[in-house]
Amino acid sequence: MADNPPATAEFRIREGAIAGATNAYAMIGRRTAVAGIATRLGNHSFRATGITAYLKNGGTLEKAAAMANQASTRTTQLYDRRATRSASMKSSG
What average pLDDT does range 33-55 have in this prediction? 93
Which CB contacts under 8 angstroms, 24+ apart, belong to 13-16?
Answer: none
**Which residues face 20 on adjacent strands?**
10
| Chain-centroid distance, C-alpha 33 | 18
Give residue 1's pLDDT. Answer: 42
Phi-psi label, residue 24: left if phi above 0, alpha if psi -120 to 50, beta otherwise? alpha
Identify whether the C-beta of residue 28 lies closer than 8 Å to the C-beta of residue 41: yes
Of 54 and 25, the one with more pLDDT: 54
Does the pTM surpass 0.85? The reply is: no
Give residue 13's pLDDT. Answer: 56
DSSP 4: S
